[in-house]
Structure 1
Amino acid sequence: MGHLRSAGRWARGLVALTVTAASTLAAITAVAGPAAAGQLKPAITAGKPKLGDVCTSADLGTRHPIIKSADVAPTVTHFKGWYVTEGSTGNQSVNTNTTETISVSVGLNGTVQGSFAVETLGSVGASLGLNVQVNYTSTSSTSTSVTWNFRTPGYYGLYKGTKKVTGTYGSLNCNRVQQGDGSWALKWTEGPDSGSYTTFTTLEEGAVRCEDKVPANSIMAKAQGLLDCGSPAATAKQPAGPVPSAKADRAKHDADNAAKAAKSVKATQAAKPAPRAALNCQSGVYRIHVPGKPLNWSAPLLANDGIRLRESNWTSAHLDNWRLCNVTERNGVIEASLWNWGNGGCATIPADIANREQAYLTTATCAEDDLQRFYFYRDVPGSSKIGLQNKYTGSMLGHDRYADGELIRQYSSGRQDGTGTYTLTAV
């Protein structure tokens, strides 16, 4: 007979997600994985855009997530094989070993930053019909105990586990679209940026034996698979206490090796210097204005400062003049680097704060680096209004308030009040 219970202390902080909208989910099914894959289902949320909906120029600087795939895999995070003899039944506390640590993350940053990440995970939960973690947390990476009432002697697997949810997402961005009659309109389209996410459901803990009949593709079944039920340890009479488990030890060994490999790759990537880039810039020179206002983007005078809103010609150094360089276009979305005439640097999000919501925009030596690449979303022809998105972080650019000296910053979902919409004005 199998046993399980929900670890109540882990349930705290989970968001009970109501059925929400997401247009494109109706026709998408989850990607099959090693365990049971989650079935994405359509959801409806008032006020959330869907692919093909009409948008306005105020939406040029905003974005919303779309869930492209999801995989739900029952996962054992802690395990211990335990032999119970006659006379040793009753309540016992057993220390389990970590077999896998799951951390909640969205995108490249290994964490959950900003409203876009929370909205992404909320959409995942609503689409799968699961309560998932929507804020940064992780399962325990250290040994934890399971207290259990053993009623009969036997060979048990004590475990803690959860449903690990992974997948990919894209984004909806407002951009101009040419219609069948040749006219233009602003609509929500799928943007070029995408990424992956990881989250998990409520943790369970329990005990299971080799002879128990358990549901397929369940957390309990995963734990039973770690018991080495065909081994001599499972059938021989043993003293009460821990039983060696080759599968559990191997799972922990594999998890440790994967973590070490990921750390090594990250260290190697961090050690590579950014190459110097030879830019191919267009001849046009532009100011990036706040629509209908006199303030525009101006590069910093000091290396440790950021790009700020300033009045045109506040200096004679052309710090408010920009060129578009290494320009490409795909599906109506321009990708370019922004080179500043005044200081010769390229607009960038500083690498050491790129994972932060509201990280400021600055300039640096031009390099072939996605932190220096930006997507431009445009209004219909005849309008110079644009929205800008950093290619590496996926965040939209905007400002907190309209004021001289205000920094330009990144916002994961953009500025919903329209302050992420600018005009690209030829000088």
Structure 2
Amino acid sequence: MSHLRTPRRRARGLIALTVTTASTLAAITAMAGPAAAQGVANPAARAGAIQVGQSCTSADLGKRHPFIKSTEVAPTITHFKGWYVTQGTTGSHSVSTNTQTSISVSVGLNGNIQGSFGTEALGMVGASLGLNVQVNYTSTSSVSDTVNWNFNQPGYYGVYKGTKKVTGTYGSLNCNRVLQGDGSWALRWIEGADAGSYTTYTALEEGAVRCEDKVPANSIMAKAQVLLDCGSPTAAAKHPAGEVPSAKADQAKRDADRAATATKAVQSMKATRAAKPATRAAALNCQPAVYRIDVPGKPLNWSAPLLANDGIRLRESNFFSAHLDNWRLCNVTENNGVIEASLWNWGNGGCATIPADIANLEQAYLTTAACGEDDLQRFYIYRDVPGSSKVGLQNKYTGSMLGYDRYADGELIRQYSSGRQDGTGTYTLTGV
């Protein structure tokens, strides 16, 4: 019977959760079947976590936190090679495997997991499942394909690396005003307007398994044993020591290659579509009110750029502002108390947007462009209770909140996946 071992060097960014008892190991093995889908009723409901309906303050209007809607755990073979050990060739072998499946860590659009929102979401996934999962961007294709193994007996082996692939969906919690049963208003954490999917995986395991070995059902080892194609003539035949072709492994690799090619084609199409500039200005239905988007209690506010390659910056209103600090809400809709709108600038006639080529980056800057039918130009507006004009703003396409790195004249307005946790993502819509 072969045994698993983990690589000496563990990937960075793992949650420090260790499973030690046999009963817990058995529970995880049972859970981690090929379709272990499970809904998480309220995974945020743990010590210190924010929950739907919990009170928030106006400083939280520009903040955002994740919660996990669903998870699925599937044992997956990432590298594999059929290997024959003959009498007299037992002992240590260094086997170069072939890539079967490549898994990359991602949360929503931000595949690089640059912001705190993605890290927090994946941390919740690991905690809810009791598994060590990757919380920073990495890929199984970046690891070495070599497996060093000590073969004690002759036989036909499947040499492999594998992991538990973890996928699912998430939502976000945002602070917004809520009408209470007694007719009063209060600020509460609500399920926000955006959601998405995530992918991560546990630490890679490596090993070798024979056809005659008894292995746990739905385990990584069992997946490798299937690739070994134990009922085939290849498995039954005698071979010289070394690599042995496996029909199932070869087919699995071809399937993985085709899937990877299809995925790249879809991603390329999406990138081309996102980067394509608007060919015509959209006809906007703008509300008559004109606003400045102020920093509460301070003189600086959002001012649109004069130059096309510049961004929206904090400026002080004066005689020379030329309406660049004046904004209208256009094509306004409202759902469950959350406004969605385009922000049209009176001074340059453009709409606020995140540039498509940097939309996946943490701290990408906000600018203006010709108005079009584009989710990069749409924003959710979370509001304080009636009587207050404080708001938080979130880009519809990226899900990130709008804020600034420091309060200073000329400072760019940028997107932050979790918002600015110091409260600087809260603004005031001041009527002009």
Q: Shared topology, TM-score over 0.5?
A: yes
CA offsets, 1:136-187, max 9 Å, x none? 1111257721111111111110000111111111000000000111111000
Q: CA deviation at 1:224?
A: 0.5
Aligned residue number for residue 36 of structure 1: 36
| CA distance, structure 2, for counterparts of residue 32 and residue 75 of structure 1 | 10
Rate the CA distance shift 1:314–1:258 in 2: closer, same or farther, 3 A: farther
Native 8 Å contact 2:215 2:221 kept in 1: yes
Report matched runs for 1:265-414 at 5 Å: 265-272=266-273, 273-275=276-278, 276=280, 277-313=282-318, 315-414=320-419
Amino acid at match of 2:293: I
| CA distance, structure 1, for counterparts of residue 302 and residue 57 of structure 2 | 23
Aligned residue number for residue 242 of structure 1: 243
Native 8 Å contact 1:77 1:98 kept in 2: yes
- Normalization by structure 2: what TM-score? 0.92
Amino acid at match of 1:4: L
Aligned residue number for residue 256 of structure 2: 255
| CA distance, structure 1, for counterparts of residue 384 and residue 226 of structure 2 | 57
Range with greater deviation from structure 2 (159-168 or 106-115): 106-115
Identity %: 80
| CA distance, structure 1, for counterparts of residue 167 and residue 336 of structure 2 | 28
Aligned residue number for residue 170 of structure 2: 169
Aligned residue number for residue 140 of structure 1: 141
Aligned residue number for residue 112 of structure 2: 111
Q: CA deviation at 1:10?
A: 3.1
Native 8 Å contact 1:102 1:138 kept in 2: yes
Rate the CA distance shift 1:126–1:407 in 2: closer, same or farther, 3 A: same
Aligned length: 416
| CA distance, structure 1, for counterparts of residue 5 and residue 186 of structure 2 | 54
Rate the CA distance shift 1:141–1:131 in 2: closer, same or farther, 3 A: closer
Aligned residue number for residue 429 of structure 2: 424
| CA distance, structure 1, for counterparts of residue 3 and residue 38 of structure 2 | 24
Residue ranges of structure 1 left out of the alignment (5+ in a row): 20-30
| CA distance, structure 2, for counterparts of residue 174 and residue 81 of structure 1 | 55
Amino acid at match of 1:36: A
Q: CA deviation at 1:111?
A: 2.2
Aligned residue number for residue 23 of structure 1: none
Amino acid at match of 1:207: A
Q: CA deviation at 1:399?
A: 1.2
Aligned residue number for residue 25 of structure 2: none
Rate the CA distance shift 1:409–1:314 in 2: closer, same or farther, 3 A: farther
CA offsets, 1:196-250, max 9 Å, x none? 1111111100000111111111100110110111100111112212121111111
Aligned residue number for residue 5 of structure 1: 5
Aligned residue number for residue 66 of structure 1: 67
CA offsets, 1:74-128, max 9 Å, x none? 1110000111111211111111100011111111132212111111111111111
Amino acid at match of 1:396: M
CA offsets, 1:33-62, max 9 Å, x none? 843346858576654321110000000000
| CA distance, structure 2, for counterparts of residue 81 and residue 284 of structure 1 | 70
Range with greater deviation from structure 2 (319-328 or 276-285): 276-285
* SS of match in other structure, 2:254: helix
Native 8 Å contact 1:79 1:157 kept in 2: yes
**CA RMSD across the alignment:** 2.0
Amino acid at match of 2:51: K
Amino acid at match of 2:294: H
Amino acid at match of 2:304: A
Amino acid at match of 2:125: V
Aligned residue number for residue 98 of structure 1: 99
| CA distance, structure 2, for counterparts of residue 356 and residue 46 of structure 1 | 31
Amino acid at match of 2:74: A
Native 8 Å contact 1:35 1:217 kept in 2: no
Native 8 Å contact 2:80 2:98 kept in 1: yes
Residue ranges of structure 2 left out of the alignment (5+ in a row): 20-30
Aligned residue number for residue 80 of structure 2: 79
Rate the CA distance shift 1:408–1:97 in 2: closer, same or farther, 3 A: same
| CA distance, structure 1, for counterparts of residue 191 and residue 335 of structure 2 | 12
Q: CA deviation at 1:268?
A: 2.7
| CA distance, structure 2, for counterparts of residue 142 and residue 45 of structure 1 | 34
Amino acid at match of 1:323: R
- Normalization by structure 1: what TM-score? 0.93
Q: CA deviation at 1:287?
A: 0.8
Native 8 Å contact 1:176 1:187 kept in 2: yes
| CA distance, structure 2, for counterparts of residue 43 and residue 329 of structure 1 | 26
Native 8 Å contact 1:398 1:420 kept in 2: yes
Native 8 Å contact 1:61 1:419 kept in 2: yes
* SS of match in other structure, 2:141: coil
Rate the CA distance shift 1:186–1:264 in 2: closer, same or farther, 3 A: same
Q: CA deviation at 1:2?
A: 3.2
| CA distance, structure 2, for counterparts of residue 18 and residue 157 of structure 1 | 28
Aligned residue number for residue 205 of structure 1: 206
Rate the CA distance shift 1:186–1:143 in 2: closer, same or farther, 3 A: closer
Amino acid at match of 2:2: G
Q: CA deviation at 1:368?
A: 0.9
Q: CA deviation at 1:18?
A: 9.4
Range with greater deviation from structure 2 (345-354 or 133-142): 133-142
Native 8 Å contact 2:32 2:219 kept in 1: no
Aligned residue number for residue 216 of structure 1: 217
